[in-house]
């Protein structure tokens, strides 16, 4: 299992800055639709016997592989990436998000959950805890280049900042 700092370092090498990410967001689907999708992840989708690289290749065959695949043996990373991939795949299995997710940025969004958020919050919490589910959905949308419908950039950023576990943990450590 990779330690938190290793996962965060991999994330830092993969991602642009949050300021850059926020500068390029456009209106996306409703937050309620994204969180409902997170709550609907089928157990079979999270089965540890399913190959994460194969799952990624099946769902996003034209997208460059995310950095998190290098940590696919870490249970947190594997679960988080599978959940993120469910967000992308569920259009065909549940109902499409309106507007749709940005397939071109999906690799970065998968890494945001698998490397950044999963390093500080057990992905299983995203399925049962409302605040953690909102954090996961908002983080995924940001790195997919989207913000929840009806929110301007400042509002969306403030609401993500309010539930950001990594920022909270860093603030507590500094205190």
Domain ranges of the chain: 4-174
Widest CA span in the chain: 46
113-149 residue pLDDT tens: 999 999 999 999 999 999 999 999 999 999 999 999 9
Is residue 170 scored above 80 in pLDDT? no
173 pLDDT higher than 80: no
Work out whether strand 146-147 and strand 26-27 pair parallel, antiparallel, or are unpaired: parallel
CA distances to 13, 36, 138 from 69, rounded to whole Å, are 14, 26, 22
Q: What percent of the chain has pLDDT over 70?
A: 98
Calpha distance 16→169 (Å, rounded): 21
DSSP 126-158: HHH-HHHHHHHHHHHHHHTTEE-TT--HHHHHH
Q: Does residue 175 surpass a pLDDT of 80?
A: no
C-alpha–C-alpha distance, residues 83 and 109, integer Å: 11
Counting residues of the chain whose pLDDT is more than 90, the rounded percentage is 85
- pLDDT of res. 11: 96
Q: What's the mean pLDDT when you consider all of the chain?
A: 93
Q: What's residue 35's pLDDT?
A: 95
pLDDT of residue 81: 97
**What pLDDT score does 100 carry?**
93
Residue 93's pLDDT band, with cuts at 50, 70 and 90, is: confident
């Amino acid at each position: 299992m990779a330690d938190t700092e290793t996962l965060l370092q991999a994330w830092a090498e993969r991602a642009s800055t949050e300021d850059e990410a926020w500068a390029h967001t456009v209106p996306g689907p409703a937050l309620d639709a994204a969180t409902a999708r997170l709550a609907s992840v089928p157990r079979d989708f999270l089965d540890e016997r399913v190959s994460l690289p194969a799952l990624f290749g099946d769902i996003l065959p034209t997208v460059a592989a995310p950095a998190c695949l290098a940590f696919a043996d870490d249970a947190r990373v594997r679960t988080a990436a599978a959940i993120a991939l469910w967000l992308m795949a569920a259009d065909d299995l549940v109902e499409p998000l309106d507007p749709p997710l940005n397939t071109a940025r999906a690799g970065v969004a998968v890494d945001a959950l698998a490397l950044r958020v999963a390093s500080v919050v057990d992905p299983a919490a995203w399925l049962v805890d409302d605040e953690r589910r909102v954090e996961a959905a908002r983080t995924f949308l940001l790195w997919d280049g989207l913000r929840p419908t009806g929110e301007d950039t400042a509002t969306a950023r403030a609401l993500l900042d309010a539930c950001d576990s990594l920022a909270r943990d860093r603030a507590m450590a500094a205190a």
